[in-house]
Structure 1
Amino acid sequence: MTGFGSLARVESKLLLRDPGAIFSMVIPLFILAVFGSGAAPGDVALPAMSMTVAVGLVGLYMVPTTLATYRERGILRRLSTTPVSPVTLLGVQLTLQLVFAVLASALLVGVSVAAFSAAVPARAVTMAVAFLLGTSAVFAIGLLIAATAPSGRAANGIGVLLYFPLAFLGGLMQPKEAMPEVLAAIGEWTPLGLFRQAVFDAWSGAATQPLILAIMAAYALVVGGVAARIFRWE
């Protein structure tokens, strides 16, 4: 087994024991269960919002907390003296977090369709592209938090504090139609707002705006590039 594979096996076990993983899985399901019964048959607004909540929690809470904690404990520094480089650990962590986000989202889609009569995703390929770009954008912000936070606890706090305003502006706490016009307009360009809209459009069969996909890709490239440049290994 390769170094990447061996490390992935160990890290996957640690991820499954992480209380944050349970939290990130249960909260979106709870939202869906509480409000799903009141949704109209075929409606996908709530499922799209729940999926955005899940990705936001993984990207802004789990990613930065885990990586900053590893740096704080000297794990990244110690790995630099072994055949398994710190870059390999980062790659394993991001891969596992992405897989976790995919599984959480797939579960939300299945529950939405089976239990709450939501429509089956109308444009699955476009939805997959939107999901990948949106998740990359959110993960990039998580990486930036991990790169700048002095400790795992600080990364946790920063991620949570950043999550709530982004969730509010992105229309995850109330419909954007009920928000002040200025805030709703700002929220349309935030990573979570873009993600929610892109997933909703693809899921419902509406035309996906190329600009939304392009902006999410720009978030991923620009913010991720800055995070990679300033990331401290110890």
Structure 2
Amino acid sequence: MTKLTVVELKLLVREPGSMFTILLPLFILVIFGSSIPPGDTVLLPMTLAIAVGLVGLYLVPTTLATYRERGILRRLSTTPVRPRNLLIVQLLLQLVLAVTACALLLAVAGTILGAHLPTRVVPVVVAFALGTAAMFAIGLLIAAVAPNGRTANGVGVLLYFPMAFLAGLMQPADKMPVILARIGEYTPLGAFRQTLQDVWAGASPNPLLLGVMAAYAVIISVAAAKFFRWE
């Protein structure tokens, strides 16, 4: 398991998409953060949601579907290293990547841009855990039904941009039509972004939005497990 983790980590580091996932949200933060007041509670939660969304909808499905397409999962079934172990390692490494991207955003925002950071850690962790679980579940479902890595990539991109728009990641939710903003609040990315924004503003997370993210994570994970194929 350790050797498998090391190998997969090296592959993840070499993957161009990993750098894209880290640098794109950081670029958005730096470009727009330089002109936003230090007390702003909108931009940083938006970029955090962007980072997690990119990992969940782009890297997770593309990587797993590509492994199945190349027969890697099938070949592992004949070795002591079971395919399930590879799946676990991949999800853990993708989680590490998401945490790394978010940690870098927080570090730059706090030290260079002087952005507001929440003082309560637990609500941030809960929001991050549920939001990440929901996005990873969607990625797993895409990987389960996509016939190959290219299709998984395309489906992930096609899902990401409408979800990002409805979630208020392309423009602030208060600038959107009311009906779209209301719908977007109950999408996985929208609930994640809104919960982070509430926490950044010093409020307690909305239990309904926490429940929405948890429901997405559980229901979609069950569907992904049902449809996932090892070969």
**TM-score, with length taken from structure 2:** 0.98
Say yes or no: does 1:108 pair with 2:100.
no
Aligned partners of 2:118 and 2:202 also within 8 Å:
yes
Q: CA–CA distance in 2 between the matches of 1:214 and 1:5?
A: 35
Letter in 1 for 2:206: Q
Say yes or no: does 1:129 pair with 2:106.
no
Aligned to 1:189: 186
Q: 1:45 aligns with which of 42, 46, 49?
A: 42
**What's the CA shift for 1:204?**
2.6
Letter in 2 for 1:212: L
The correspondence of residues 4-23 of structure 1 with structure 2, limited to 5 A, is 4-23=1-20
Aligned to 2:201: 204
**What's the CA shift for 1:11?**
0.3
Q: For residues 60-84 of structure 1, what are the alpha-carbon distances to aligned partners after superposition, in whole Å with 9 as ceiling and x for unaligned?
A: 0000000000000000000000111
Q: Share of identical aligned residues, percent?
A: 62
Stretches of structure 1 lacking an aligned partner (at least 5 in a row): none
Aligned to 1:55: 52
Q: CA–CA distance in 2 between the matches of 1:48 and 1:65?
A: 25
**What's the CA shift for 1:99?**
0.8
Letter in 1 for 2:170: M
Q: 2:143 aligns with which of 137, 143, 146?
A: 146
**What's the CA shift for 1:205?**
1.4
Q: CA–CA distance in 2 between the matches of 1:186 and 1:195?
A: 13
The correspondence of residues 149-164 of structure 1 with structure 2, limited to 5 A, is 149-164=146-161
Aligned to 2:61: 64
Say yes or no: does 1:174 pair with 2:159.
no
Q: CA–CA distance in 1 between the matches of 2:124 and 2:10?
A: 29
The correspondence of residues 71-90 of structure 1 with structure 2, limited to 5 A, is 71-90=68-87
**What's the CA shift for 1:225?**
0.8
Q: CA–CA distance in 2 between the matches of 1:199 and 1:175?
A: 14
Q: For residues 91-142 of structure 1, what are the alpha-carbon distances to aligned partners after superposition, in whole Å with 9 as ceiling and x for unaligned?
A: 0000000011011101101111111111122221110111011000000000
Of stretches 218-227 and 40-49 in structure 1, the one that deviates more from structure 2 is 40-49
**What's the CA shift for 1:5?**
1.6
Q: CA–CA distance in 1 between the matches of 2:14 and 2:105?
A: 21
Q: For residues 125-160 of structure 1, what are the alpha-carbon distances to aligned partners after superposition, in whole Å with 9 as ceiling and x for unaligned?
A: 110111011000000000000000010000000000
Q: CA–CA distance in 2 between the matches of 1:184 and 1:214?
A: 18
**What's the CA shift for 1:178?**
1.2
Aligned partners of 2:123 and 2:204 also within 8 Å:
no
Q: CA–CA distance in 1 between the matches of 2:198 and 2:185?
A: 13
**TM-score, with length taken from structure 1:** 0.97
Runs of 4+ in 1 over 4 A off after TM superposition: none
Q: 3-state DSSP class of the match of 1:206? A: coil
CA RMSD between the two structures: 0.8
Q: 3-state DSSP class of the match of 1:116? A: coil
Stretches of structure 2 lacking an aligned partner (at least 5 in a row): none
Q: CA–CA distance in 2 between the matches of 1:201 and 1:109?
A: 16
Aligned partners of 2:140 and 2:224 also within 8 Å:
yes
